[in-house]
Amino acid sequence: MRWTIKPQPEADKIDALSKALNVDTIVATLLVQRGIETFDEAKKFFRPSLNDLYDPFLMKDMDKAVNRIIEAIQNEEHILVYGDYDVDGTTSVALLSSFLKTLSPYIATYIPDRYTEGYGVSFQGIDYAEDNDISLIIALDCGIKAIDKVAYATERGIDFIICDHHRPGDTIPDAVAVLDPKQEDCNYPYKELCGCGVGFKLMQGLAPHFNLTTENLVPYLDLVATAIGADIVPITDENRVLAYFGLQVINSAPRMGFKAMLTQVKKDSLTITDVVFIIAPRINAAGRMKHGQHAVDLLTETDPTIALQYASEIELYNSDRKDADQTITQEALDQIETNKETECFTTVVYQEDWHKGVIGIVASRLTETYYRPTLVFTKSGDKLAASARSVKGFDVYNALEACAEHMLQFGGHKYAAGLTLTEEQFPDFKQKFEEVVASTIDKTLLVSEVTIDHIIEPEQITDKLYRILQQFAPFGPGNMTPVFATEDVTDTGYGKCVGGEDQHLKCRIEKNGSAFDAIGFNLGEKCDLITNRKRFKIAYTIDENVWNGRRTLQLKLKDLRT
C-alpha cells in the first residue's frame, strides 16, 4: 500500500479551534481537515439538527412534483411507486409508498425484474401501469435517462415524476417533474443525495400540505440511512444529518422488517458500517437472487409474524448469494491468472453463465485484489451485461462515456456503473476501455492507498480521545474514520499469525512505555516484519475490544512497514 499523509492544517487554525472547543490539538487537527474551523461549525458537526436540512423547494421541479401528487391524491388517482432492485431503489419504494399510503389508498409498488426487464424504467412496468388504471408513476433511483420510456407512458396517458441522483445525459426526459440535484440547471445546494434521499426530500415537500412537519417524517429515516450507507454516497452535509437521525431510528425504534432481520444479531448499537454489512446485503439479496419486491414487502410489513417469515426467506436468498459470490469470484480469479500475458490497466472478465445478481459484488472483490478499474460481464438474454467498479480517484463513468459507441446503454456513478452491449461489440469495447483507462489514469492510483490523518504517539491514545472520535460518526466517504500512524514501535514479543491459513496478525505494540493490543486483518504475511524486536511503523484506527465484559482500546492495523 502507498501511504498518503494528509496535509497538516495551519498551526494557528488548530490552536484557535483547540482553545475554542477545549480539546487537544489532535481533535482540532482532524476537525480542520474536515473544513471545520469555528465553534459554530463544530457544534453543527457534533450536534446534527433537522433544522440543517435544506428547503426541498430549492430543488428544481419540486413544486411541480408536489402539485401533481396533491392533485392525484385529491382526484383519487392510482399512483405507482417504481424503483430499482438494489438497496437504494427498494428502500426508496418502501419509503415513499408507505408514506403515500397514509394519504391515499390508491398506491401500488413496482420493482422491475433484474433478469427479464433489466435496470431502470421498463416498457413492461409502464404496461403494468396502463393495465391497472394507473395515471401517475413516481420513479425513484432511476429514470434520468428513460427518455423513450417516459414518451411511451405519455402516449398512454400516464404522467411521470422522476426522483433520481444519477448523472443525466444530454437530454432530460419530458416528465411532469424531474428531481435530480445533479442536473446542471438545478440549484439545490447539496448534490450528493442518494435516490432514497431525493425521495425523502419529496416527502418533505409534501408534508406541509398535509399538516405534517419534518419531525413527523423521522421514523422513515432508517430507510434513508440504509440507502446512504449501501450506495456509498458521501456522509457529509445533508447526508450526514439524514444518516445521523436514521441510525437513531434503527437503534431505538426500527421498523418491523429491520427487527426481523436483526433477530440473530447480538449488537448493542448499529453503526453505518453494520448497516452496510448486515442489513444492506440482505435487502440486496432479494433483488439479486429472486425479486426486489420481496425486499419492499419486508420493509413495509407491520405484522411481526409475517415480517419474520419474510426475513427468513431473505436469509435464504442471502445464503444463496454468498455461495454464488464465492464460486464466481474464484472462477473470475482463475480466468485472470490463466490469461495473464501482458500488463493491463483494467480487469475485464466474462462468462456467460455467471449469475447476473452477483457480478457487482464480484467486480468489487476483483478491484480489491488487483486494484484496477474492473468490469465483470455475463450473458443477459441475447445481450451482455456488466457491472463496473473503480479504484479510488478514477472516474469509471467518464471512462465508459468515452466508449459509448461500443455500448447499447450505460449509467451510474464515479466508482460504480452498469452497462449493456451486444456480443459483437464486446471485443472492440474491451480494447477501447483498456485504451481509455491506460491513457487517462494516474498510474499511482493502481496501488491501494491508506490515507493517514495524523501522526501521533501511543501515549496520546486515551479513552477521552476515543470517546470524542466516536462523536465524529457516522463515518463514510467524505468523513472516514480517522487513521493514525506511529513510527518506531516494537512488538512486546507475543506477535503471531491467527485465523485460517495464518491470515491475520495479532500483536501488542509498544513505544515509550505505552503499549496497546493490535489486530491486523489480512496482514498475516507481514508477521516477519515484527519479530526479534524489529522497529516498524503502523497505520491504524483506534477501536474498542470487549472481552468478558471488559472494554479496552485496541489498534486496528491498516498496514505496517519497516
pLDDT at position 163 over 70: yes
Question: Counting Cβ atoms within 10 Å, is residue 23 exposed (0-12), middle (13-18) or buried (19+)?
Answer: middle
Give the side-chain half-sphere CA count within 13 A for 457.
7
pLDDT at position 197 over 90: yes
Residue the block writes with cell 458537526: 45
- Residue 364: the pLDDT is 94
Work out whether strand 484-491 and strand 536-547 pair parallel, antiparallel, or are unpaired.
Answer: antiparallel
pLDDT at position 292 over 80: yes
- Angstrom distance (rounded) from CA 79 to CA 110: 11
Mean pLDDT across 224-239: 94
- Angstrom distance (rounded) from CA 115 to CA 433: 25
Q: Which domains does the chain have, with CATH numbers?
A: 2-7+449-561 (2.40.50.460), 56-313 (3.90.1640.30), 341-446 (3.10.310.30)
Letter for the amino acid at 510?
E
State how far Cα 519 lies from the chain centre.
26
Q: How far is CA 41 from CA 6, 18, 48, 157, 343, in A?
A: 21, 13, 11, 49, 48
Mean pLDDT across 234-240: 95
The Cβ of residue 72 has, within 10 Å, a number of other Cβ atoms equal to: 22
- CB-based contact 518:530 (threshold 8 Å): no
pLDDT at position 114 over 80: yes
- Angstrom distance (rounded) from CA 363 to CA 457: 38
- Angstrom distance (rounded) from CA 448 to CA 559: 11
**pLDDT, tens digit, for every residue of 452-511?**
999 999 999 999 999 999 999 999 989 999 999 999 999 998 889 998 888 999 999 999
pLDDT at position 341 over 80: no
Residue the block writes with cell 519497516: 562
pLDDT at position 429 over 80: yes
- Angstrom distance (rounded) from CA 410 to CA 420: 7
- Residue 55: the pLDDT is 98
- Mean pLDDT in the chain? 95
Q: For residue 153, give the nearest of 221, 73, 82, 236 by alpha carbon.
A: 82
Mean pLDDT across 278-282: 93
Confidence of residue 249 (pLDDT cuts 50, 70, 90): very high
Mean pLDDT across 98-125: 94
Give first-to-last CA distance, the chain, whole Å: 13
